Structure 1
């Protein structure tokens, strides 16, 4: 083994996972925000995987990347070379993990929020933060929930509350056809909108040919306490259509609550259920 000094804390915090082989081989987990990488970063990964691994890069279930078959003696050199090319190590253990996000409204026609921007802001403030247990964020642009906001410790979803403008409506019925939850009915030159059924997806605005549906309110819907794994549980909707300042205030108080109340190794949803959802809700929505 090399006599050079190995920074074990750097490896422990930085997403290195020991492989099953008898040799000292590791998979290196990389820091990826919202699934976005530049072409220069991709070239750096290709070079690193060929030099230190087997020329392969694994895409994880959470938009992350891993270089496998890295010898233990090469871990420091690999990290240094990648960091010089703006590719940074990930994390594991009881910390905030990489933030996943969809393309959002900059690219997706159905996107209602800039999911990438929100993901970057969350990552900048919370990535790798030490917590009692692991903590996962997801940001999804609309209620289609491509990024599975309900399966994360804290999920952020774009939402839009529509408003019907009667004078602009031709009662063509396209909004009724396009509504995925039957919240709109068009009958005999009359339109009925059931707000309780509405999932805030904005599909009626997209499909209306006369702009008879407009934006009444838009913002961020927040889900808390979800997880997958051996004991999966869907998150609970905490609040809907809040503005960005309120969103980050809720995130900050949620993290504070988790730090204060969680037992070691506990997931956020388990802490909420043990302490009580109403108490948690009162704390973060004060």
Structure 2
């Protein structure tokens, strides 16, 4: 992670924002957004941040929707001092603008009983290898979910990564206890005439609950990795990303994200401020799949629709005769 503490900060508001320091409404006041990959902070660093905020900020800090901390109400004259004090505790400031943003992640498999993959390790890897890189076009957000519960809403990022596991059933080890059927929320398991489990893979959400529940080990893991939807975004014109790859190995996922980023940089040339998802909505999905298939032939899907555009229905709600 590139250190951001030493030296003087720029004075231009746009340049400050690119470094995660955002102008507020108040004269000469700024918000300092911190770099917190995966939403995890060591306790001692959190204490150090609190001391800096108490000395130089307002009466509170803000927890952002992307798991960062923001120091609010910092006077411009104190910005250099604040950033340097944070750096003494190994706390970096975030980035804004047309760059790879700080990744979000759930707790993953480290302590969450539903977790299938190590999302925290992946978030730290993306933060170290890709975060703050300029895209040349627009922001580029990455999110990690440890299981199909998808608490961080990974599919609303430019690239989302969701932990999945494919089960397989050894019928000879099944005793027909019904535990897996009771646990499965997707009706992907039914009982045969002998009461033994029958697997319906077309309904399976790849959560692995059957594997965890089976008392005899009849359900076993066949394949594990990340499902990767791309093209999501939020804001004024939200989109939900589309699945382009399945069972991307944990050790490969950062390279996969980097490949999507490389394609986006090239495909968006000459288009100005355009998000990855907009390119895909406009018909570029086959090009992306072909590019990724050359690099990751065993995990890329055969075909994928463009991202789903969500109509927030805010347009046209006022009568034509109503004025502001």
TM-score, normalising length: structure 2? 0.83
Contact 2:8 2:80 in 1 (8 A): no
Question: Which piece of structure 1 moves more, 41-50 or 182-191?
Answer: 182-191
1:188 is aligned to 2:185: no
Partner of 1:166: 171
After TM superposition, list the pairs within 5 Å mapping 1:99-118 onto structure 2: 99-118=103-122
2:240 aligns to what SS in structure 1?
coil
Relative distance call for 1:246 and 1:87 in structure 2 (3 A) is closer
Partner of 1:175: 180
Kindly tell me the number of residue pairs found equivalent between the two proteins. Answer: 282
1:217 is aligned to 2:229: no
What value does the CA root-mean-square deviation take over the aligned residues? Answer: 1.6
1:278 is aligned to 2:286: yes
1:276 aligns to what SS in structure 2?
helix
Contact 1:250 1:285 in 2 (8 A): no
Question: Which piece of structure 1 moves more, 89-98 or 236-245?
Answer: 236-245
Q: Structure 1 stretches (4+) deviating beyond 6 angstroms? A: none
Any unmatched runs of 5+ in structure 1?
none
CA distance in 2, matches of 1:244, 1:187: 36
CA distance in 2, matches of 1:155, 1:5: 35
1:227 aligns to what SS in structure 2?
coil
* Cα shift readout 1:217-260 (whole Å, capped 9, x = no counterpart): 11111110011111111110011112235433321221111111
1:203 is aligned to 2:209: yes
Contact 1:100 1:147 in 2 (8 A): yes
CA distance in 2, matches of 1:283, 1:40: 44
CA distance in 1, matches of 2:292, 2:254: 11
1:98 is aligned to 2:98: no
2:109 aligns to what SS in structure 1?
helix
Partner of 1:7: 10
Any unmatched runs of 5+ in structure 2?
1-6, 295-324
Equivalent of 1:269, from 271, 274, 277?
A: 277
TM-score, normalising length: structure 1? 0.94
CA distance in 2, matches of 1:220, 1:5: 41
CA distance in 2, matches of 1:91, 1:248: 19
1:146 is aligned to 2:154: no
CA distance in 1, matches of 2:75, 2:41: 25
Contact 1:44 1:87 in 2 (8 A): no
